Amino acid sequence: MPGDLEEIVKYIVDKSLELKNKYTDAKDVPVEFACIFCQSEAEYNKFDGLVKKRGKVAENTPTGDTYFLNDPIQTSAGPLRLLKIRKPDSNRRERGDTDFNTDYPKFKEKYQGKSNFELVKRETFEMLRLSDPDFDVMSCFSNVPKSKDLGTNLK
């Protein structure tokens, strides 16, 4: 398992892309957001400290902060500017997740209700979350891109 921040981000995006490609025909959909699910308090403190030096907090949540990176991390799904460092959570054994930008209404119509897809409704958005026990990541498809949801926090 990679240990450096950029290596872990690239690993999560690569695996999420692989998962997306296994279950969907959505091609050339860019990465919008990624989240590292920290597995320990020490790992959380390490990655949160590293990301603070690379950008600014765009959103505070009880599970961890989302950062807008000054310089994007180049990934296999395009440049990544939004990165969340998630606090350890015994319910989240995955390594992380990636949000991809799609034409959400068409995507939802095609994939909602299919196996491995779960509709998740939040206060300001909804998403389809794709998971597979053979993968240690999840792929998410939101009706509101995270960058749009955060809006002015990215300036």
Q: How many domains does the chain have?
A: 1
Answer whether residue 26 is part of any domain: yes
Summarize pLDDT for 32-41 with one digit per residue, the tens.
899 999 999 9
Domain with 134 in it = 5-149
- CATH number of residue 116's parent domain: 3.10.180.10
User: Residues of 76-111 as b/e, b for ≥16 C-beta within 10 angstroms?
Assistant: ebbebbbbbbbbeeeebebbbbbbbbbebeebbebb
| 29 touches 101 (CB < 8 A) | yes
Amino acid letter for position 112: Q
Answer whether residue 74 is part of any domain: yes
User: Residues of 26-46 as b/e, b for ≥16 C-beta within 10 angstroms?
Assistant: beebebbbbbbbbeeeebbee
pTM of the full predicted structure?
A: 0.92
Answer whether residue 154 is part of any domain: no
Summarize pLDDT for 40-97 with one digit per residue, the tens.
999 999 999 999 999 999 999 999 999 999 999 999 999 999 999 999 998 888 999 9
The tokens 């505070």 sit on which residue? 60
Answer whether residue 115 is part of any domain: yes
